[in-house]
Structure 1
Amino acid sequence: MGLLKKKLCIIGSGVAGLHLAYALKDDFDITVIERQSPDQIRKGRIMSTQVHFGSTRTREKRFNMPKWGEQSLLESIHITIGNQKLFVGMLQEPALSVDQRLYYSHSIKDLIEKGVSFRFEKIDKENVEVLIDEFDLLIDCTGKNGPLLPFPIEEALSPYQTPQRKCIVGYFTGIRANTPLGVSVTVLPGLGEMFEIPAITEHGPVTILFIMGIPNTELDVFKGIKNAEEFTLKMRSTVQQFFPEIHNRIDGSNFALCDESSFLQTALTPVIRKPYLMVNNKLVVGCGDSVFLNDPISGQGCNLSSYCAEQLYETLIEYKNSKWDADTGESYWNRTKQYVKEVTEWTNAMTEPLPEHVIQLLLQGAQDQVQANEIAEWFANPTKAFEAFFSATATVHKNNQ
């Protein structure tokens, strides 16, 4: 008789939870706990923005996750500073953005069909201890609302006590797509940023307009807006005032939110935690935003969650037949630490005024397509961004050319 499979509980079915469920389901007995049913998720409010870059899409293939068709692949990153469009950098591998309401609800139904157990209930800090006793391992994937457990804060990577940006997001129809299809990044020094992301929804293709306003500046003007109509009017006037290139592509008669729930305002304080704990002599781990919460400014939330899910999967497979303890947790942390540090330090630098040598790199990108493509790759491979921002040799090398 074979050994009984270890029983794992994943709390939360966002990117981290879903990627883990797909990765682990053949080797372990998996239960996922999610507070909303697939239909509640699908009909609910948008949760965020998302761009799955090449490495994340590779992991989705590796773990046999649902495919989303190839018609809306994002091939490029458009960079604008102020009102000057600098360049379009081409990505080495195309990216994709799928409305998380669709992605999550579809994936949950698919996992249920594949035999993964789901419980639709809310877990809070009070009743989490029962689950720690019930399962061989608890994985906290509660996302930006988490964590459920007191994973220790990594002070060196968590310099902020308050949100650095107000996040204002709407999924709109009636915007002519940019060409080549890609993510547009506009930096308004001293005010904030706008990300324009073509995405797939159950209503068809949309354009996500994502304003990141520095608090209490002229971009932070959505306070008190409660309904879709007011939000649409305010977005339109803000785009007209600050983002003329996007405004020129708006078809006035068709500009609207794709549904009543497709807008969001939020602000989060980035915080990085050590992703494991021992509770009553049992290992508990965290994955994704519950432990590695970055500012959304670098577009890395779902990619970092996916990366860490894969590293946790590799760790658990490596230790599959031994007792899971603090050594296992430390092994997972060691696998993820360097990449988490690079993503976080680059992201935090993006919330500050851009360093002079980075501005020079961006201006070079306007003259040199190879450089433009390298900068586009920062978003797909944040290690490259980290090197460009922080490697002294890179700066000296550029200055000597």
Structure 2
Amino acid sequence: MSTNKKNDRNFITVECLLEFDMDEDKQKVLSLMRKFSSMVRFAYKRLLEGVERKELKKLLAQKYGINTRYSDSAIFLAQQILDACLQGGQNPKKLIFGSRVVFEKLKKKHLTGKRREKLRQKWEERRYGFLYSRGDKSKEGNLNLRLVNLDGQWHLRINLGNGEYVFAKVVRNAKREKDRWIDLVWDLTQAERTGNWFAYTVRLKLKNGKIYAQISREEKFPEITITRENGVIGIDINAYPFHLALAYTSRDGNLEKYERISLNGLLDGNADKREYLSWQVAHQIVEIAKREGKAIVVENLEKIPKGRRGDGMPKLRQKLQKWIYKGLLEKIEVVCKRNGVQLIKVNPAYTSVIGKLKYSPMLGIEKDVASAYVKGFLRITGNYSRTRSFWHML
């Protein structure tokens, strides 16, 4: 199970293996995946040229002869990729579908035999082996890629885009009692019985010659029961050493206590290890909030400063550019929602400076704790105007 986020909405994703009764059916789906992958690349290039969405739909229909819902999904996916490039500061004209890293390795030709063939297969599967269909509540969850129950076994009904359908068996064994697949199957069963459907998006991916389905739907959250009524915990990031400072603030704005959580483990190992450790830290922080009965205050993800030349924090700036901190805060937000803990976002502007110059000497605490305290103090008192006036007095 994984979680992704878009437009302040959270989605849960489960992955399943697809099995086909006939190889002919699998080949039809692979052909559709190659066509759809080409559609996304074509749509991406047209978006770069400034072609309007309405005109682009016509061009896709003429070129590929596939239904309009697949065209819509291809345009939507191409726009997402383009937006991600722009937000990440990348040149969208230099994007390589299938992974630039893998492509550059293939260009060097330093690998031979099976190792090179495996790398080439990986690149081709990433470039040509995917299919995507957005969910629609009014179309029994998803029109093109729909989950159906046939004689007690869940299948994915795949619309080939030309009026023909292929059915693939969904293979997913629940690994634990709280596996998200169990919840999904239950909700699908209830939807079939009552007709009250929910939207779910499906993405097919080719990996090592096998086709997997990733099924995503919006996550349901419990009501918030832990609020700032009992105070808050302000959180601040620091570079030397890389850690989080937590400042416990009472309901009237006084500092009660503080502690630190090391993040050094997030700088080592591969992406999977960092992802796992980030979730661990997120759960640790939320468990603290539940124990203390306090809300959590963090920096606004859209306004996290990346630093500036001469600020003396090049290493911190580098870490933030790698989105380590942002990714951690996103996970804290998700875990808060799942546990009914209020998460409050504040503008990080000036909080470090005010903490360092005012509250650190006043309270006899280090600047990292002081910065975390300022976030909590401002949220409790609501006196944001002091930040700007204090800054102008420096």
Pairwise same-fold verdict (TM > 0.5): no
Bigger RCO (CA 8 Å, 6+ sep):
1
TM-score (norm. length: structure 2): 0.25
- Going by fraction, where is helix more abundant, 1 or 2? 2
